[in-house]
Amino acid sequence: MDKALHFIFKYGSLIVIGLVILFFSLWDKHFFTYANISDILRSISIVTFVAIGVTFSLTVDGFDLSVGSTVSLTTVLTAAMMVWYQQPVVFVILVALASGAVVGLLNALLIVRVRIPDLLATLAVMYIVAGIHKTYTKGYSIYNNMPMPDGSTAPGTFDPAFLWLGQGKLLGVPVPVILMIVAVAAVHLFFKYTKWGRQMHTTGGNEEAARLSGIRVRRIRTFAYIASGVFAAIGGILYAARVGTGQIDAGAPMMMEAVAAVFVGYSVFGAGKPNVIGTFFGAILIGVLLNGMTMMKVQYYANDIVKGTVLVLALAVTFIHLNRRRNG
């Protein structure tokens, strides 16, 4: 029985992904084609960046609820700088990344310095950031040639070079997919082979022990939240580049998908903890399910039921196994 549970915990997520792909492939011959698989990977690329941010915060035994609002903020910020102020692409991207870092730094200040619990601090920041970007845009989405309050038309447009980040292809592969794979590989190597990555895992495992061993816990946790904000900002940049508009509340639905991907990842290869490879496979599972249900013409409002069910099952398998392991 224990061996069976261990096998399910270690390989269950991968088996489920395989079975889901097989089911949808048999259901619709167009599912398992290069074009559709490419669309699935493109669709999960933004969520994966957001989920990587959540992975950073969970690695230090925290949690970042503000990632969705950060996505929305950077989406409208990049749009505003190009459409309203005609700023160059490089400057737009740097400012967007800096805004994500500022949100992460604010979270770290409240959590590390003021010592507000992670969930409460990031919940408050989530509302603050959401209010800021809605106030800044007066509740309107930003798009090319939009009417301005004074009756004129917005002077700028989305730069084609910027749109290429979300819509372009390189050697036949969507650019967001390439960026996602590079990010997953880089973060995996960071956690596995760098001093800071190992210290983050140590801090998340036992903060007091980490502190006694000489690790500067405050600095490590601050870095984790800044990284979370930056990766959420990258998600916002890619979202704006993909849709070509600055949509308010664009990141609201992404937080749930990102969290689901991270927790599904707990059970990939029996990790039992936040890990970016597991997060990536969790995002794939959610992306495959949503794409397949769309092909089956399932009503869009049923998607949340599926995402919630996947999250519950992933958590159940993970924590049942962990509790059994702790109890011997």
Q: Residue 147 carries which side chain, given as an amino acid letter?
A: P
At residue 147, the 3 state secondary structure works out as strand
* Closest listed residue to residue 119, CA positions, set 264, 230, 259, 24: 259
Please report whether residue 2 resides in a domain.
no
Which residue in this structure is represented by tokens 């950077």? 74
Does any domain span residue 12? yes
Give the per-residue pLDDT at 308. Answer: 78
pLDDT for 328 equals: 55
DSSP letter for each residue of 199-218:
HHHHHHH-HHHHHHTT--HH
Cα(64)–Cα(43) distance, integer angstroms: 22
pTM: 0.92
Q: pLDDT of 120-147, one tens digit each?
A: 999 999 999 999 988 988 888 898 988 8
Could you tell me the residue range of the domain that residue 228 belongs to? 8-322
Give one DSSP letter per residue of 168-180, joined into a string.
Answer: -EETTEEHHHHHH
Looking up residue 66, the CATH number of its domain turns out to be 1.10.3470
* DSSP assignment letter at 114: S
Q: Which residues in the chain come in under a pLDDT of 50?
A: none
What are 174-211's pLDDT values in tens digits?
999 999 999 999 999 999 999 999 999 999 988 888 88
Task: Classify residue 243: in a domain, yes or no.
Answer: yes
Number of domains in the chain: 1
* pLDDT score, position 321: 63
CA distance 206 to 210: 6
Domain assignment present for 108: yes
Spatial CB neighbours of 239, under 8 Å, sequence gap ≥ 6: 46, 71, 75, 166, 247, 250, 251
CB within 8 A of 293, min separation 6: which ones?
Answer: 302, 303, 306
On whether residue 308 sits in a domain, the answer given is: yes
Domain presence at residue 328: no
Phi-psi group of 85: left, alpha or beta (phi > 0 → left; psi -120 to 50 → alpha; rest → beta): alpha
For residue 246, the SS3 value is strand
- For residue 219, tell me if it sits in a domain: yes
